[in-house]
Amino acid sequence: MNRFCTNCGKELPSNVLFCPNCGSRVEVRNNTTENNSSNNNNNNQTVINNYYNTSIPFLTKKDIAVSVILSFLTCGIYQIYWFITITDDANKVSERPTDTSGGLAFLLTLITCGIYGIYWNYKMGQKIYEAGKKYNKNIQDNSLPYLILSLFKLDIVSIALMQSDLNKFAE
């Protein structure tokens, strides 16, 4: 029996958990039906897509306190790594992999002497909030607080708050 992705409609190879075309999760349920003539059980695989319980891309939960301490101990080097991974994780949960990658966002922040970083803080707040609405997570739109924290050079606070929101997706 051919299976098709209920998200994009492409035919699915057997025994896959994610659609190779769009990446949406494919849940397989075994239905046991009894054949009256031979009393044999046939397992039919059915593709299920529950719109309100869409799968969240895999994220790892990061300890915020450890990340802040490492940022101070390494004189900000770990904060650069943290900035890059938060950007990439936000792209995953918002399902916009073509958005600016973490490395490019850091490079643009560096080249523009921090101006892109202010814009980045605002856009990250919007991106995480929209993903929270999509996956029914209790996340507020913190775009403006992130922007204000960035203007006062408290980027580590806004990054910690972003990580707190992203950790909700890892639960």
pLDDT in tens, the chain (171 residues): 677 777 777 777 877 777 777 777 776 654 443 344 444 444 433 344 434 445 566 788 999 999 999 999 999 999 999 999 999 999 999 988 888 999 999 999 999 999 999 999 999 999 999 999 998 999 999 999 999 999 999 999 999 999 999 999 987
Residue type, 132: G
Claim to verify: residue 29 and residue 78 sit in the same structural domain = no
Burial category of 164 from C-beta neighbours within 10 Å (exposed 0-12, middle 13-18, buried 19 and up): middle
Range of the domain at 116: 64-170
H or E stretch covering 119: helix 115-134
Residue 152, both tokens:
């006062």
46 and 70 fall within a common domain:
no
Cβ atoms within 10 Å, residue 43 = 10
**The overall pTM is greater than 0.85:** no
Does residue 162 share a domain with residue 102?
yes
Q: Is residue 127 part of a domain?
A: yes
Same domain? For 49 and 86 the reply is: no
Q: 52 burial class (0-12, 13-18, 19+ CB within 10 angstroms)?
A: exposed
